[in-house]
Chain A
Amino acid sequence: MVGGWAIAVHGGAGVDPALPVERQEEARRVLVRCLTAGAAALRAGALALDVVEMVVRELETDPVFNSGRGSALTRKGTVEMEASIMDGRGRRCGAVSGISTVKNPVSLARLVMERSPHSYLAFDGAEDFARKQGVEMVDNSYFITEENLGMLKLAKAANSIMFDYRVPLTGADTCRASAGLVADVGGEMQMMNGLPISIYAPETVGCVVVDSAGRCAAATSTGGLMNKMNGRIGDSPLIGSGTYACDACAVSCTGEGEAIIRSTLARDVAALMEYKGLGLQEAVDYAVKERLDEGKAGLIAVGRNGEVAMGFNTVGMFRGCATEEGLMEVAIW
């Protein structure tokens, strides 16, 4: 099927299998709402770049996912957000990191792309730029939720038990506190990026769109890894890792940030299409299967011909997609 618009969204890969049903329903509702808004805009002829920004703003504003309000917390209990956006037409891009008072980091990333001579601004410099641009700014406490404060405590306890964060703990190694929290799947604790999956906040939200003119765009936003070191930058703001868009496709990734960076996951999907001639889903499958090694991640992608593709090697990924043909689906597992 050639042509037509398509949109895909994600709310993070690496979902706790024991996530309560009402939380799953809540997540689905947010994804449906975002997809519906995105689809309506596309039907009205909106540009891909505008749609990805609008949808990610919606995801940032809602506290359900790990971006904007509801972001995971740094080890100091603060929020440091990052985001990036890329326009496949011309491969223009913008990114920000270390954002602590800007209500919508993805919009600031777009302003970096359109109103500054640079592609990436971070920390104080980015906040300064935000002030000068007159974007909506709030106190850092706005982004912090009760739930994440609780999660941070658990993450600190979990991190202090693990001597080598890369080695998955078996049930016998855990102390009582975290053992009770863990969804024991197949006799081994499910871990993501050094944390038991029940504590891990799936890193990132994202949106990829191809509009009715075949233009592709991608945007990704996150609060990052729970209990991360202050100053830690993950894959979300890194063009080629968490986000990528070109004439052929647009990609947004989520999961273990370090694994996504190492494998330059987003660019690899596009490179597999461009240099190896793979189709969109083939490229997505190949990247997830062959490029991640021990890493756990997922991604969503759209192609200029109106195709949608998704892939993940994690326990689940909050995701959804809609196409001009009338497809609309939302899934977690």
Chain B
Amino acid sequence: MGWAIALHGGAGDIPFSLPEERRAPREATLRHCLDLGVAALRANRPPLDVVELVVRELENSPCYNAGKGSVLTTAGTVEMEACIMDGNTNNCGAVSGLSTVVNAISLARLVMEKTPHIYLAFDGAEAFAREQGVEIMDPSHFITPENIERLKNAKEANRVQIDYTQPIKANSTNDQGDSQIGTVGCVAVDNHGNLASATSTGGLVNKMVGRIGDTPIIGSGTYANSFCAVSATGKGESIIRATVARDVAALMEYKGLSLKEAAAYVVEKVPKGNVGLVAVSANGEVTMPFNTTGMFRACATEEGYSEIAIWPVDSNGISEDSQK
């Protein structure tokens, strides 16, 4: 038993050819966020605070699909969503359809703590944000040139698709070698077994205006109880129907699986290329399985294990990992 933390910056078809100038800042952000999270846990901050502060940091980074750097809707706008859950009490908060709130995860926490509700969205959520006096910016603040480019490429790819009911090929890459999907998230447990989870995202590139993904849906993209804390990433529609985050905990509780077994089982049941997750258990274990090409991720435990990686780790050490 001991504290543990894991965070992710999105799972997807991250090509091995990802250029250095795109890979380096992402890795640096993961490292920075991991350090922040570890320091907070060492300072005995509650896991709920830890996951919030780490996700805020990821939201503020323009290279991940959350907060600034969020992918764009088909209308070229940003609609952000986030969710936070406290494993001790099962209290949770979620928001969707935000366009001016700098840190969606913090607004989700305020919904949890300052309203009788769990989930606020769109105009109602924006109004609540103003009532609470959280930091807001003009919508243009969140839009980056890379995402304008991603949207353009996605629309071009769609022009080829005549059948509107076919889902956008979520794994299509563009010249920049980036995946079209992503999310950020963090899970943490302290050395008393208190668990918390937080997830935040801009959603799916070229999504319909008003589309809600798995991130703000308790039990799909985010979940925490007394067994574990889970944050998922990937194709939202697949994660929702598989109730990914809840299922990891349910397998542990109802079937007696270990954290690693439960997480692996869930990931395997989702169609390949669609999901990744990070999870920690009350006992301080960590697991970060994914069935996509890669997942930006990092973790650390009190016992001294730590990892920052993008692609699968194998014994040949081909991927760019650092393990202590």
Contact = CB atoms under 8 A, between A and B. Distances in A.
B127 A267 contact: no
A33 interface: no
B131 to A, nearest CB: 10
Nearest to A117: B167
Given A91-B241, A129-B210, A261-B218, A275 B118 contact: no
Contacts of B237: 117-119
B97 A122 contact: yes
B118 A97 contact: no
B196 to A, nearest CB: 14
Interface stretch (B144-152, B243-251, B300-308): B243-251
* From B115, B127, B210, residue with most partner A Cβ within 10 Å: B210
Contact of B218 (A95, A128, A238): A238
A168 B208 CA distance: 42
A235 B110 CA distance: 19
Interface string B202-238: 0010011111110001111001000000000000110
Interface in A222-244: 225, 228-234, 238-241, 244
Nearest to B166: A117
Contacts of A116: 165, 208
A165 B116 contact: yes
Contacts of A122: 96-97, 121-122, 210, 212
Given A117-B167, A123-B210, A272-B254, A229 B128 contact: yes
Contacts of A123: 97, 121-123, 210
A160 to B, nearest CB: 13
A166 B217 CA distance: 23
* From B94, B124, B208, B213, residue with most partner A Cβ within 10 Å: B124
Contacts of B116: 165-166, 193-194, 258
A301 interface: no
The contact size tier of chain A is 35 or more
A23 B295 CA distance: 56
Interface in A188-245: 193-194, 225, 228-234, 238-241, 244
* From B123, B168, B204, B223, residue with most partner A Cβ within 10 Å: B123
Nearest to A262: B90
B119 A120 contact: no
Interface string B125-137: 1011000000000
B117 interface: yes
A238 B243 CA distance: 10
A271 B255 CA distance: 10
A26 interface: no
B91 interface: yes
Given A262-B90, A264-B218, A229 B124 contact: yes
A67 B177 CA distance: 47
Nearest to B207: A118
Given A97-B121, A231-B124, A262 B91 contact: yes
* From A123, A128, A166, A293, residue with most partner B Cβ within 10 Å: A123
A233 B240 contact: no
A115 interface: yes
Nearest to A164: B116
A230 B127 CA distance: 9
Interface in A257-294: 257-258, 261-264, 267-268, 271-272, 275-276, 293
* From B164, B208, B236, residue with most partner A Cβ within 10 Å: B208
A233 B218 CA distance: 12
A4 B241 CA distance: 26
A268 B120 contact: no
A121 B116 CA distance: 23
A239 B217 contact: yes
Contacts of B124: 229-232
B14 interface: no
B92 interface: yes
A95 B220 CA distance: 14
* From B122, B125, B168, B242, residue with most partner A Cβ within 10 Å: B122
A296 to B, nearest CB: 14
A231 B125 contact: yes
A233 B121 contact: yes
A263 B90 contact: yes
Contacts of B96: 122, 233
B241 A119 contact: yes
A264 B217 CA distance: 10
Nearest to B95: A231
A261 B210 contact: no
A232 B300 CA distance: 36
* From A165, A240, A263, residue with most partner B Cβ within 10 Å: A240
Interface string B161-176: 0001111100000000
A98 interface: yes
Contacts of B123: 123, 230-231
A261 B168 contact: no
Nearest to B126: A231
Given A97-B121, A123-B210, A241-B217, 17 more contacts: A92-B241, A117-B165, A117-B166, A118-B236, A120-B213, A120-B240, A121-B210, A122-B210, A193-B116, A229-B115, A231-B128, A233-B94, A234-B119, A238-B119, A262-B91, A267-B219, A267-B247
Interface of A: 91-93, 95, 97-98, 114-126, 128-129, 165-166, 193-194, 225, 228-234, 238-241, 244, 257-258, 261-264, 267-268, 271-272, 275-276, 293
